[in-house]
Amino acid sequence: RIVVVEGYMDVIALANAGFSEAVAPLGTALTEQQIELLWRLVEVPVLCFDGDAAGQRAAMRAITRALPLLRPAQSLAIVRLPAGLDPDDLIRQQGPGAMAALLGQPASLLDTLWDHEREAQPLRSPEDKAGLKQRLMDHVETIQHPDIRALYKRELMDRFSAFAFPPRAFPARERSEWKPRGERGPLRPEASPDGGATMRRIMQGNGQDAVAGAVLAGLARYPDVALAHADTLARFAEAEPRHASTIDALLDAAEGLDSASQLPISNEQGPGAPPDSTRFVFLKDTTDPATARVILAEAIALLVERPALEAALKAATARFATDPEGAFAEQQRLAERKLEIQRRLGQMASRGAALAAHDDSAHPAADNPPDDRKTD
């Protein structure tokens, strides 16, 4: 282990307390060359700078200089001393054991970066949160290693999503007593009285592709599915901001329904949705509601996966110049998954999709050879 402190007095204090592995850059900020020298000795040097504002700024300068240099297994760990204390103060006031405890549990470079930017300024407005996201992504773009850059981006975006789009607190939904089909009334329940107007208002001017339009219209017909997949829909809204207002309005409208009922917000095919979206089986009155809900839930998952898949394909293509073999294999895998998603979405838009979904879950594939006859 190597512990990097700010000055030679800190090195002396640590050495006197039994920590002989301390070094210091001697009056200058930690440089890229010094970071490379540290990595020749240990994979993850520990930075232990003062707990005041200047010490934290020094730690962030070291982090920003290290980001472009990161390589697999080589990083920095950071010890955050109590506010206003340097290593000598901590040892004199709390003893060597307190210093040993802090050095034994340093924070990762990623954790420190996230904490610093999150605490850099108040995050009360959407603009403040957008600024946090921008600062994080600016750091990520400086990382030269493609795999580390992609992993940092995903981890920081996951943290940002959890912070900016916290899970909604929905009231517990009561389950209605099961009744035989003959006692359950009509196949499709009547929509809430203002459902059509609600759908027109929340989808107006919100251009969707066929799949997104179909899913949004399906969520209006089955609002309980929207509530059950609220977190997944929030991730989709983040990846596709043009749909964010529609999804938020759908969830708000769904929350307003009687929790003991499964009334749709609207039975319409979805004002503003492309005409092709009406072919999806979960929008057809002839589809059993239970089957429609299962297919709609799968469509949500596929819809959310699409932008992530496109981003991964783009990253693999960009990496081709430096890692042609690995990038090509990744491109092939992602392209196959993309075709698989398109195939399944195509099935959902065909007349036999509902039956296919039911049969796939009930019978092994070997017992059901494919039927090449057209269903139209």
Q: What value does the mean pLDDT take over residues 18-29?
A: 84
List Cα–Cα distances, 58 to 12, 31, 61, 82, 107, in angstroms.
Answer: 20, 11, 5, 15, 16
Q: Give me the CATH number covering residue 85.
A: 3.40.1360.10
Mean pLDDT for all residues in the chain: 76
Residue for token pair 């099935």: 347
What residues contact 225, with CB distance under 8 A and at least 6 apart?
218, 219, 293, 296, 297, 300
| Residue 360 lies in domain | 187-367
Q: Among 58-72, 76-90, 206-220, 280-294, whose mean pLDDT is lowest?
A: 206-220
Please say which residue of 97, 113, 129 terminates a domain: 113
User: Which tens digits make up the pLDDT trace of 153-192?
Assistant: 989 988 888 888 766 554 444 444 444 444 444 434 444 4
Whether residue 256 is contained in a domain is answered as yes
* Alpha-carbon gap, residue 213 to 63, rounded angstroms: 44
Does 234 score more than 90 pLDDT? no
Per-residue model confidence (pLDDT) at position 350: 65
* Alpha-carbon gap, residue 281 to 349, rounded angstroms: 6
List Cα–Cα distances, 231 to 137, 153, 163, 304, in angstroms.
Answer: 22, 20, 12, 11
* Alpha-carbon gap, residue 126 to 137, rounded angstroms: 17
Q: In terms of pLDDT, which residue wins out, 233 or 356?
A: 233
Whether residue 165 is contained in a domain is answered as no
Residue 203's pLDDT band (boundaries 50, 70, 90)?
very low
Q: CB count, 10 Å around CB of 105?
A: 8
Whether residue 60 is contained in a domain is answered as yes
Q: Do 357 and 215 sit in the same domain of this protein?
A: yes
Number of domains in the chain: 2
Q: Do 213 and 347 sit in the same domain of this protein?
A: yes
User: Which tens digits make up the pLDDT trace of 329-355?
Assistant: 778 888 888 888 888 887 777 654 444
Q: Do 55 and 196 sit in the same domain of this protein?
A: no
Please say which residue of 73, 95, 113 terminates a domain: 113
Contact 45, 25 (CB under 8 A): no
Please say which residue of 89, 113, 137 terminates a domain: 113
Q: Do 87 and 213 sit in the same domain of this protein?
A: no
Q: In what order do the strands lie in the sheet with 107-108?
A: 22-23, 3-4, 46-49, 77-80, 107-108
